[in-house]
């Protein structure tokens, strides 16, 4: 392991400009994970009732603090997905160096471990920077933090790079570097779903919700746990639907279309139909949460306004601040997942750049290849986003049915969320079009 760590450090130092993009993205993702973890540790260290200047009273009581900690922990899920995407695109860019290591006698597992350690070193830089700024911010708001806070800071700062390396190892488990310079991805059988990783993540979310329910909701309340279970079940169904749609399109559409862009996209979906579900899993979960949140927000504000200020336990600004912070968390999660989708699309182009160059040399216009790239995202994602939106709408309608003083169920604004997310996903995929123009350069044919 010491030799592999030394090689990873040397390879990181000798990275070119393209590699430094990968290092920077990994460091940014690790910094975000560290920042969320440190904020959760600082809030969780508070015990009892406090009077905190930040948050308009949301940090004063244990119940509200537990909700904030839960939201910060849930934000780690899209960040870890983003780190996994960065690890994949890094492995493809390092193909020649990986092949050199294989020729020098390194085995395929050793090569994957070296690539994972490279990601761990980049994550260590981002984690250290985030820890320094978080400590300065903490000292500006809290003059004498207890020792348990600093212990939590140290643990999280070390754990995030380790977790980043583990996520990279998991992401690279099907990447094989041959000694002659080929890097290929070993796909699972086309009949399989997105795998156990998504199931483990879903069970993790449900477990965290159950564990934190007593302090967050004042006991094991049925409604919040039912809503969380509905989010997870709907998200899993949407992920399965994306893969099933991609498989069906790949099998049936090539024989029924004469459009070259549609034909190319369908053939790529048939090659790995579950890639769409893996790349879009976090986006679909955020769609469910965002749609449900917007419906609950409208109902909750309508209910609070109907009660009047005299019957509220706290000021109206207390509730609006909590609602706005929840919405900000959803938007942050959406931005992270869209960034991961953009990185995943770029990784897919980098993996197929030799095949794309061969298609361009054979006379396929770049515009056709660009439309095929967008169709790879648009075709399987449309029904999955629709299902995710319906699930979120059901959550909002269910809350409206049990809320007091609500005259109607809001539909217009929640229905706009799936449309906006779908459009944002297409824009995220379109950010890889400049890379497509470089990928179809004839120089790529030298390495086929």
Q: What is the pLDDT of residue 79?
A: 87
The dihedral sign for the CA sequence 121, 122, 125, 128: negative
CA angle 168, 169, 174 (to 5 degrees): 105
Confidence at residue 309, expressed as pLDDT on a 0 to 100 scale: 64
Burial of 239 (0-12, 13-18, 19+ CB in 10 A): buried
Extended strands (E) in 300-379: none
Q: What is the pLDDT of residue 448?
A: 47
pLDDT for residue 304: 74
Distances (CA, A) of 210 to 45, 207, 220: 20, 5, 8
Judge residue 142's burial from the number of C-beta atoms within 10 Å of its C-beta, 0-12 exposed, 13-18 middle, 19 or more buried. Answer: middle
Per-residue pLDDT for the chain (448 aa), expressed as one digit of tens each?
677 777 777 766 666 666 677 788 888 989 999 999 998 888 888 777 766 666 666 777 777 777 788 888 888 888 887 887 777 665 555 556 666 676 777 777 777 777 778 778 888 999 999 999 998 988 887 778 888 889 989 999 999 888 888 877 776 665 555 555 555 555 444 445 555 555 555 666 666 656 655 555 544 456 566 666 777 777 778 878 888 888 888 888 888 887 888 888 888 888 877 776 777 888 888 898 888 888 888 888 777 776 666 666 666 777 787 888 888 888 998 999 898 888 878 777 777 777 788 888 888 888 888 888 899 888 889 999 999 898 888 888 877 777 655 556 667 788 889 999 999 999 988 888 887 877 776 666 655 4
Check if the beta carbon of residue 230 is closer than 8 Å to that of residue 391. Answer: yes
Alpha carbons 292 and 272: distance in angstroms, whole number = 31
Residues in a beta bridge with 184: 176
pLDDT, position 155: 92
Supply the pLDDT for residue 149: 87
Q: How many CA atoms lie within 13 A of 129 on its CB side?
A: 13
What is the number of H-type helices and E-type strands within the chain? 16, 2
* Rounded (5°) CA angle 79-80-86: 90
Say if residues 279 and 351 touch (Cβ distance below 8 Å): no
- The rounded distance, in Å, linking the Cα atoms of 448 and 441 is 13
Q: Does pTM top 0.85 for this prediction? A: no
């Amino acid at each position: 392991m010491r030799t592999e760590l030394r090689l990873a450090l040397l390879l990181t130092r000798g990275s070119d400009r393209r590699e430094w993009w990968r290092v920077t993205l990994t460091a940014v993702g690790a910094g975000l994970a560290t920042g969320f973890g440190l904020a959760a540790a600082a809030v969780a260290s508070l015990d009892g009732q406090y009077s905190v200047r930040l948050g308009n009273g949301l940090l004063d009581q244990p119940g509200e603090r537990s909700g904030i900690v839960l939201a910060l922990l849930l934000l780690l899920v899209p960040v870890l997905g983003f780190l996994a995407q960065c690890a994949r695109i890094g492995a493809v860019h390092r193909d020649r160096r990986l092949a050199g290591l294989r020729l020098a006698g390194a085995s395929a597992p050793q090569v994957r471990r070296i690539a994972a350690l490279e990601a761990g070193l980049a994550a260590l830089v981002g984690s250290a920077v985030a820890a320094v700024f978080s400590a300065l911010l903490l000292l500006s708001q809290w003059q004498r933090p207890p020792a348990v806070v600093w212990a939590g800071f140290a643990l999280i700062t070390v754990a995030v790079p380790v977790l980043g390396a583990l996520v990279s190892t998991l992401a690279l488990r099907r990447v094989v570097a041959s000694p002659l310079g080929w890097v290929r991805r070993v796909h699972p059988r086309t009949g399989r779903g997105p795998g156990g990783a998504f199931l483990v993540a879903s069970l993790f979310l449900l477990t965290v919700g159950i564990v934190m329910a007593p302090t967050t909701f004042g006991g094991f309340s049925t409604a919040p746990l039912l809503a969380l279970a509905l989010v997870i079940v709907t998200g899993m169904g949407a992920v399965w639907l994306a893969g099933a749609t991609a498989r069906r399109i790949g099998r049936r559409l090539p024989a029924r279309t004469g459009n070259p862009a549609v034909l190319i996209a369908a053939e790529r979906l048939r090659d790995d139909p579950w890639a769409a579900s893996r790349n879009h899993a976090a986006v679909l979960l955020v769609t469910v949460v965002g749609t449900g949140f917007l419906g609950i927000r409208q109902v909750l504000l309508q209910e609070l306004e109907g009660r009047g200020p005299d019957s509220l336990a706290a000021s109206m600004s207390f509730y609006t601040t909590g609602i706005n912070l929840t919405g900000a968390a959803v938007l942050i999660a959406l931005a992270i997942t869209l960034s991961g989708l953009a990185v995943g699309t770029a990784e897919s182009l980098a993996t197929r750049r030799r095949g794309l160059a061969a298609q361009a040399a054979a006379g396929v216009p770049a515009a056709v290849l660009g439309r095929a790239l967008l169709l790879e995202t648009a075709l399987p994602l449309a029904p999955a986003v629709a299902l995710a939106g319906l699930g979120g709408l059901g959550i909002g309608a269910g809350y409206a049915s049990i809320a007091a003083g609500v005259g109607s169920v809001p539909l217009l604004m929640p229905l706009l969320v799936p449309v906006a997310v779908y459009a944002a996903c297409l824009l995220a995929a379109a950010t890889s079009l400049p890379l497509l123009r470089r990928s179809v350069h004839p120089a790529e044919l030298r390495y086929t």
